[in-house]
Structure 1
């Protein structure tokens, strides 16, 4: 599972990235804190699709992780 993250503190992003990897995920930094509102809104949209029984990939294509 890819975990999208936003942040301004490189050390904090590295630490959280390590925690994500420790539980089997793939961290994906998607911007600074000024992007976090957009990330939250997209996450809500995708989670809503999944709970409604729709495939989120039908609306949001997969994007390869840069890390």
Structure 2
């Protein structure tokens, strides 16, 4: 599972990233704290789809990971 993260403190992001990896996840740092609002809105969109009975992957298509 990918865990989206935003933050301004590199040390804190490293610690949280290690915690995410420790439980089998993949941390994805998406920018500084000024991006948090965008992350929250996307999460709301995905959660809304799920609660309405739709698979979020049908609305957010997979994109190959960068090499």
| Aligned counterpart, 1:12 | 12
Gap runs ≥5 in structure 1 = none
Structure showing greater Rg:
2
| TM-score, L = length of structure 2 | 0.86
How many pairs are equivalent? 66
More RCO (CA 8 Å, sep 6+): 1
1:33-57 Cα deviation digits (max 9, x unpaired) = 0000000010111011112221111
Gap runs ≥5 in structure 2 = none
RMSD: 1.7
| Aligned counterpart, 1:27 | 27
Q: Which runs of 4+ in 1 moved over 6 A?
A: none
